[in-house]
């Protein structure tokens, strides 16, 4: 399966259109009912329960008090019982449109309520259960591999740098990958939230990522161009891929400066021999823009939304 850039063929992603949850408004335009309908469609794709209730319940996520009250036991239970589970968002080659990778993203559904990862991944990290989550997600990748033996692309998993810097992370990760039948060279580790970490952790992070990189794993810098995802980290850590923050692509739609910033990031990445990913590709215009700015891979609602295992087609 591929995304059709050049033909009249309807691409799989095009049947599940894109817009951002807010739909209209992101570009400063008036609310657009069609965009809202598409946004509901997208959310339904991302939540396996499906149905209108499922989509609407997304809005009622964990509130602040519930977040604070979460215990380590709650999180372990949610992972073990499958309430926290992965969805998969394919990435395509900007040249030929073929699926070459997929990002694994966390969702939490419980008692008819759905929580977006922004609400709970911080707790997963702070309670020290991210390695357990990764183990489960690697298991899910193993099931994708078994269901689609012809799929030879990569699996991208997100990890907070503090988890990746922990003692024993390399052994645990490699052991889990092998036990789920995954070739380590097909795994991409996306480093999220480049929060400032202590000097000693920085040294361990470098050590751990270098060890994984030597085993063939691809290390990716997520959200490049935003917050802490810095040039400094690009120089320090053994990255082989950069994902440009979607905000930059969205600004590049209208702002020449953002376009230059985006394409300069591509030049920089190329000079460091890094693969580049444009994320947040939400429309055919975004596809054209991201390709013209030089991204190697494309990811976004216009191509494929995040999909639960049951709806994945490769
Ligand atoms: P991220 O790693 O930058 O992931 C991409 C986010 O963009 C995802 O949001 C995805 O659903 C969304 N997205 C995909 N296509 C488009 C598009 O065309 N337009 C727009 N506007 N957004 C798009 P999601 O799934 O809500 O995840 C949010 C963040 O939560 C992720 O950002 C990542 O930082 C974190 N996260 C998600 N799953 C995990 C996980 O398993 N572990 C860790 N550590 N972090 C995770
Ligand atoms: Ca990511
Ligand atoms: Ca990102």
Q: Is 298 in the pocket of ligand 1 (CB under 6 A)?
A: no
Closest-approaching ligand to the CA atom of 116: 1
> Would you place residue 35 in the very low, low, confident or very high pLDDT band (cuts 50, 70, 90)?
low
Q: Is 17 in the pocket of ligand 1 (CB under 6 A)?
A: no
Is residue 242 predicted with pLDDT exceeding 90?
yes
Is residue 19 predicted with pLDDT exceeding 70?
no
72 contacts 128 by C-beta, under 8 angstroms: yes
Tell me the C-alpha to C-alpha distance, in Å, between residue 204 and each of 130, 163, 168.
17, 11, 10
According to the model, what pLDDT value does residue 48 have? 40
Ligand 1 atom closest to 89 (CA) = 14
The strand pair at 187-191 and 275-278 is best described as: unpaired
Q: Is 164 in the pocket of ligand 1 (CB under 6 A)?
A: no
DSSP 106: E
Closest-approaching ligand to the CA atom of 89: 1
Buried b vs exposed e over 156-185: b needs ≥16 C-beta within 10 Å? bbbbbbbbbbbeebbeebbebbeebebeee
The mean pLDDT value for 207-225 works out to 96
Condensed to tens digits (0 to 9), the pLDDT of residues 46-105 reads 544 333 333 444 445 677 788 788 899 999 999 999 999 999 999 999 999 999 999 999
More confident of the two residues 4 and 25: 4
According to the model, what pLDDT value does residue 60 have? 55
Q: Is 11 in the pocket of ligand 1 (CB under 6 A)?
A: no
Ligand 1 atom closest to 286 (CA) = 18
Q: SS3 sequence, 201-223?
A: HHHHHHHHHHHHHHCCCEEEEEE
Ligand 1 atom closest to 245 (CA) = 3
| Least confident among 120-124, 131-135, 199-203, 280-284 | 199-203
* CB < 8 Å & 24+ apart, contacts of 230-235: 230/194, 233/191, 233/194, 234/268, 234/272
Percent of the chain exceeding pLDDT 70 equals 80
Is residue 182 predicted with pLDDT exceeding 90?
yes
Residue 101 C-alpha to ligand 1 middle, in angstroms?
15
Q: Is 129 in the pocket of ligand 1 (CB under 6 A)?
A: no
Closest-approaching ligand to the CA atom of 193: 1
Residue nearest to atom 37 of ligand 1 (CA): 105
61 contacts 53 by C-beta, under 8 angstroms: no
The mean pLDDT value for 24-51 works out to 46
Q: Is 12 in the pocket of ligand 1 (CB under 6 A)?
A: no
Residue 59 C-alpha to ligand 1 middle, in angstroms?
16
How far apart CA 68 and CA 49 sit, in angstroms, is 26
Ligand 1 atom closest to 163 (CA) = 44
Q: Is 21 in the pocket of ligand 1 (CB under 6 A)?
A: no
Q: At what angle do helices 130-147 and 169-179 cross, to 10 degrees?
A: 30
Percent of the chain exceeding pLDDT 90 equals 66
Q: Is 301 in the pocket of ligand 1 (CB under 6 A)?
A: yes
Alpha helices in the chain (DSSP H): 33-46, 51-57, 64-69, 72-80, 117-126, 130-147, 161-164, 169-179, 199-214, 231-236, 246-252, 256-271, 284-292
Mind listing the domains of the chain with CATH numbers? 4-12+83-311 (3.20.20.450)
Ligand 1 atom closest to 133 (CA) = 41
According to the model, what pLDDT value does residue 14 have? 45
Residue 106 C-alpha to ligand 1 middle, in angstroms?
8
According to the model, what pLDDT value does residue 251 have? 96
Q: SS3 sequence, 144-200?
A: HHHHCCCCCCEEEEEECHHHHCCCCHHHHHHHHHHHCCCCHHHEEEEECCCCCCCHH
Is residue 128 predicted with pLDDT exceeding 50?
yes
Is residue 202 predicted with pLDDT exceeding 80?
yes
According to the model, what pLDDT value does residue 194 have? 61
Q: Is 159 in the pocket of ligand 1 (CB under 6 A)?
A: yes
Is residue 240 predicted with pLDDT exceeding 70?
yes
Is residue 131 predicted with pLDDT exceeding 60?
yes
| Least confident among 3-17, 78-92, 134-148, 153-167 | 3-17
């Amino acid at each position: 399966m591929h995304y059709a850039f050049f033909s009249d063929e309807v691409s799989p992603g095009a049947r599940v259109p894109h817009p951002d949850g807010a739909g209209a408004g992101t570009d400063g335009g008036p609310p657009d009912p069609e965009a809202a309908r598409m946004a509901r469609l997208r959310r339904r794709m991302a939540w396996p329960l499906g149905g209108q209730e499922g989509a609407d319940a997304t809005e009622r996520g964990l509130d602040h008090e519930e977040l604070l009250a979460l215990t380590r036991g709650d999180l372990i239970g949610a992972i073990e019982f499958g309430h926290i589970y992965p969805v998969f968002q394919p990435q395509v080659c900007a040249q030929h449109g073929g699926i070459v990778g997929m990002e694994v993203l966390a969702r939490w559904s419980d008692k008819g309520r759905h929580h977006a990862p922004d609400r709970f991944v911080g707790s997963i990290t702070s309670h020290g259960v991210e390695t357990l989550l990764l183990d489960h997600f690697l298991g899910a990748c193993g099931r994708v591999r078994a269901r689609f033996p012809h799929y030879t692309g990569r699996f991208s998993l997100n990890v907070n740098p503090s988890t990746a810097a922990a003692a024993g992370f390399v052994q645990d990760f490699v052991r889990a990958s092998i036990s789920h039948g995954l070739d380590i060279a097909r795994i991409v580790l996306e480093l999220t939230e480049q929060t400032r970490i202590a000097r000693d952790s920085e040294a361990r992070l470098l050590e751990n990522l270098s060890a994984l990189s030597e085993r063939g794993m691809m290390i990716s810098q997520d959200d490049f161009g935003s917050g802490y995802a810095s040039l400094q980290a690009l120089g320090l850590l053994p990255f082989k891929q950069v994902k440009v923050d979607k905000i930059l692509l969205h600004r590049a739609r209208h702002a020449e400066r953002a376009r230059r910033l985006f394409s300069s990031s591509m030049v920089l990445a190329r000079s460091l021999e890094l693969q580049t990913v444009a994320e947040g590709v939400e429309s055919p215009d975004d596809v054209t823009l991201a390709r013209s700015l030089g991204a190697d891979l494309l990811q976004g609602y216009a191509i494929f939304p995040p999909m639960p295992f049951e709806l994945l087609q490769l």
